[in-house]
Structure 1
Amino acid sequence: MKENVNHIFNLVNKELERQRNSIELIASENFTSLQVMQAMGTVLTNKYAEGYPGKRYYGGCEVVDEIETIAIQNLKKIFNINWANVQPHSGSQANAAVFLSCIKPGDKILGLDLTMGGHLTHGSPANFSGKNHQALFYGLNRDTGLVDYQMLEQTALQQKPKMIICGGSAYSRDWDYKLIREIADKIGAVVLADIAHTAGLIASGLLNDPFEHCHIVTSTTHKTLRGPRGGVIMLRHDFENPWGIKDNKGQLRTMSQLLDLALFPGVQGGPLEHVIAAKAIAFEEVLQNDFKVYSNQIISNAQTMSGAFTERGYNLISGGTDNHLMLVDLRNKNLTGKKAQEALEKANITLNKNTIPFDDKSPFITSGIRLGVPAITTRGLKEMEILKVVDLVDRVLTNADNETEIKLVRKEVLSFMQEFPLYPELYFRQFS
């Protein structure tokens, strides 16, 4: 047993070194604070706490009740909202609970097409959202790379979906939540805003506020919020649901009650109280002034990066970015996304291949790559360093078959990342 346990710790430390020595450009990743990680590795992992604060099915929950309440209060302060559920294990679980609370199996939903930058839980046929519901999609305008709101409206008016979903995983522009709500009101649809990628930027007031117009908002707690991996469900104001939705006993409920019941016992059992403690700490960090400084730096870094790639002849979908990420069409570079990802990984630069709008290649190959700056911004990189990152990426992509050049870039990356130490005091102890 000792050898096996030590092997796991060796692998954990190997991953720590990989993160330290790499330029992390995956848009959905970030680095938490040490205190967030410390909270996740506590005795709270031992506590089972089905239910909600003050209404548990197990004894001994007085401490975790207080922790979860603090997490809820912090989240409400961040977004100026009146209700939140911090128990979802992930953003997908949060979305599943919204579906369960608002619509029935077989109902129509309308979301951004996955190949255009949407998310699996917005109707993909491979996902519960597409398997249990009639999934309809809107896309991007071929010329502008922006959401085709005319297509969204036409589809909504013709098909009358029960739910319209906005938000995506590879869309670099802001959203017109007001217009989407106006369209939804014409057909009596629920509007779900999934802000998993942009929550931190919304919290800092740098992007449009979905809470003004959307019935329900979900998010993950990592990515731009820089917390532990997990999800949340939020309402600015609780409301008597106008769709006449009833619970499984046939009783009318408020939206918050429906959402609570949909998450537990609907799609989850006991909450992960150690992760909720980490969420509480991350939310406290978001409330500090330096988080707004960080968010502004994300925007500046992303725009610097998009401009630098454009100057080097790369085609960016929509021509740039409003948020933390960008989508690059590599077809004019005679590269696939798969080839680019693999070549860059050899140089210790990590990102992901990604389909682009109207892609003619499969999701396993793709014509594009997605890049994001939250993680490298957390490490302290600013505009001048971003230009160096673009140069390193460009050198790999223009020499994707040149192993000698890739090795030279890797050596530079290793040296470069030493200037921005990551968790210098951290080492995971082995079994003694």
Structure 2
Amino acid sequence: MLARISMSRRLSNFLCDSLESCDPEIYDLIELEKKRQFYSLELIASENFTSRACLEALGSVLTNKYSEGLPGMRYYGGNEVIDEIENLCKKRCLEAFELDPSKWGVNVQSYSGSTANFSVYTALLKPFDRLMGLDLPHGGHLSHGFQTSKKKISSSSIYFTSMPYQTDPKTGLIDYNKLEESADLFRPNLIICGASAYPRDWDFQRFRKIADRHEAYLVMDMAHTSGLIAAKQANNPFDYCDVITSTTHKTLRGPRAGIIFYRKPVSETEKFLSDLESRINFAVFPSCQGGPHNHQIASIAVAMKQVSLPEFKDYIVQVKKNAVALANSLISLGYRLVTGGTDNHCILWDLRPLGLTGSKLEKLCEKVSISLNKNSVPKDTSALSPGGVRIGTPALTSRGFKETDFVEVAEFLHRAVHLCLEIQVETGKALPCFLKALENNPKLNALKTAVEAFASKFEMPGFDISDTNNKI
């Protein structure tokens, strides 16, 4: 009996121990990541810093609960509170985008933007039906049907017949005339707009006309621009599209997850939308995934409440101002940007005129506490060694950066490029030799010190860095 009581106490202590005492190795790594985020310039366009409230929801007891199915129709018991949370999340999603619930519905269970997209294809298409999306080297996303001449890359190109549309090679802008010509030949069942690295806005009315010519569904993946759309700082896809997907981090500044909006029929002419809700819900579960992540859904609800506040619009306006300031600064320093600038939060920087690859600049910037990502630019043939980098302003804007601060960011990037070129002259173009030369380089160390001193002047959303600095 005493042994059983002793074991029970040990079990209780084990389950109630803090992360710091239970697993100091993981705890220390998380603290190091906090430190890295605080002392770095985060310029990855698809990343942001979420709020403390969102983080608290993500780390809550909601992660304990299974809830396959929809509110009121679960395959498990004990979901009365979970049902309330999911219904509240759906309500807030519609409110954030000022949508009439009689005209629009939303599914908030997707684990990510990519799974949301594949669920939509599963709902709307039959195997080998035809879809068109923006080509990845021209700014599109993998999940929009990407394939090469030798291999089908995305599951959307494996299970469906994919044909990309592209940007104009001279302007970098979507070639709507060529898109229309291609659609007339291909006769798609679904057209997807939206991108991963396209710095300009979208002509949804033109897309709608092209889709209607072929009785195709029109789907918008607004993962990158959803925050801008909610704040009315970008064209509104809800006026023209049948289905709209999004991630909930990026410019929405919530947790990493996916959501799907779907149009409801409001007239006899829209009978083809009559079963859209049931098809999308069934595609998400049970077709493409299992039980929803309730801690994510609660965190989405928190983020959507924040999106509806006036302060969020102020934030998005500043995101765009900062992107323009950064773009103009890089242009003034003599660099080439795809499309010549930006209408949103994102900049696509073409390094090919310099004889550099995006992979080299990415690696060097990583060494000096600047986070950005290599990215394909039009006419690229390799995603592993592309000719550009993608940079964005949402994360640093969340830390309080203004236009003048991004002028300084441009100067840091300018110094990084010159160091890249200098090292490449010494090592040649082979990446392994280049990477070896980055180790213990005094010029890189000096730039890193300057970057970290600059970054540490700004507050960090979500957590108190002073606690981390005292521990690590």
- Aligning the two structures, in what range does the TM-score lie when normalised by the shorter sequence? over 0.9
Q: Corresponding residue for 2:80? A: 62
Choose from 383, 398, 406 the match for 1:386: 406
> Alignment length, in residue pairs?
421
Partner in structure 1 of residue 433 of structure 2 = none
Cα distance in structure 1, aligned partners of 2:21 and 2:286: 40
Letter paired with 1:72: K
Aligned to 1:233: 260
Conserved 8 A contact 2:375-2:390: yes
Taking structure 2 as the reference length, the TM-score comes to 0.86
Aligned to 2:456: 418
The CA deviation at 1:242 is: 7.9
Q: Tell me, what secondary structure is at the counterpart of 1:112? A: coil
The aligned residue for residue 148 of structure 1 is 175
Which of 329, 354, 358 does residue 333 from structure 1 map onto?
A: 354
Calculate the aligned-residue CA RMSD, in Å: 1.9
Q: 1:397 to 1:270 in 2, by over 3 A?
A: same
CA drift at 1:9? 1.1
SS at match of 1:399: helix
The equivalent of 1:366 in structure 2 is 386
In 1, the alpha carbon distance for the partners of 2:338 and 2:265 equals 37
Which whole-Å deviations, capped at 9, do the CAs of 1:67-86 have from their partners, x for residues lacking one? 11111000001112221111
2:226 counterpart residue number = 199
2:66/2:291 contact within 8 Å kept: yes
Letter in 1 for 2:203: D
In structure 1, the partner of 2:164 is: 137
Structure 1 residues 83-135: Cα deviation after superposition (integer angstroms, max 9, x where no partner): 11111000111111111111011111111001111011100221110100111
Q: 1:175 to 1:261 in 2, by over 3 A?
A: same
Aligned to 1:108: 130
Match of 1:39 among 57, 73, 80: 57
Larger Rg: 2
- The equivalent of 1:77 in structure 2 is 95
Mapped contact 2:264–2:277 kept (Cα < 8 A):
no
Does residue 99 of structure 2 align to residue 99 of structure 1?
A: no
Query: Which amino acid is 1:50 matched to?
Result: E
Taking every aligned residue pair, what percent have the same amino acid on both sides? Answer: 42
Q: Deviations over 1:206-232 (max 9, x none)?
A: 100001001100000000000000000
Which letter does structure 2 place at the counterpart of 1:127? S
Amino acid at match of 2:464: E
Q: In the aligned structure 2, how far is the partner of 1:365 from the partner of 1:243?
A: 46
Residues 182-212 of structure 1 deviation map (CA, whole Å, 9 limit, x = unaligned): 0110110001100000000000001000010
> Structure 1: how far apart are the matches of 2:350 and 2:268?
43
What residue in structure 2 maps to residue 19 of structure 1?
37
- C-alpha spacing 1:357/1:11, structure 2 compared with 1 (3 Å): same
- Tell me which amino acid in the other structure corresponds to 1:349: I
What is the CA–CA distance in structure 1 between the aligned matches of 2:316 and 2:268, rounded to whole Å? Answer: 34
Which residue type is aligned with residue 307 of structure 2? V
Partners of 2:325 and 2:403 within 8 A in 1: yes
Task: Give 1 or 2: higher helix fraction.
Answer: 2
TM-score (norm 1): 0.94
Q: Using a 3 Å threshold, how does the CA distance of structure 1 residues 53 and 365 change in structure 2: closer, same or farther?
A: same
- C-alpha distance in 1, partners of 2:418/2:340? 21
Deviation sequence 1:325-349 (CA, Å, 0-9, x none): 0101111222111111111111100
Specify every segment of 5 or more residues in structure 1 that has no aligned partner in the other structure, as ranges.
246-251
1:249 aligned partner: none
Q: Distance in 1 between matches of 2:248 and 2:197?
A: 17
Counterpart position of 1:408: 446
Q: Distance in 2 between matches of 1:332 and 1:101?
A: 44
What per-residue deviation string (whole Å, max 9, x for no partner) do you get for residues 130-166 of structure 1?
1001110110001111001111101111110100010
User: Post-superposition shift, 1:3?
Assistant: 8.5
The Cα shift of 1:235 comes to: 2.4
Amino acid at match of 1:87: Q
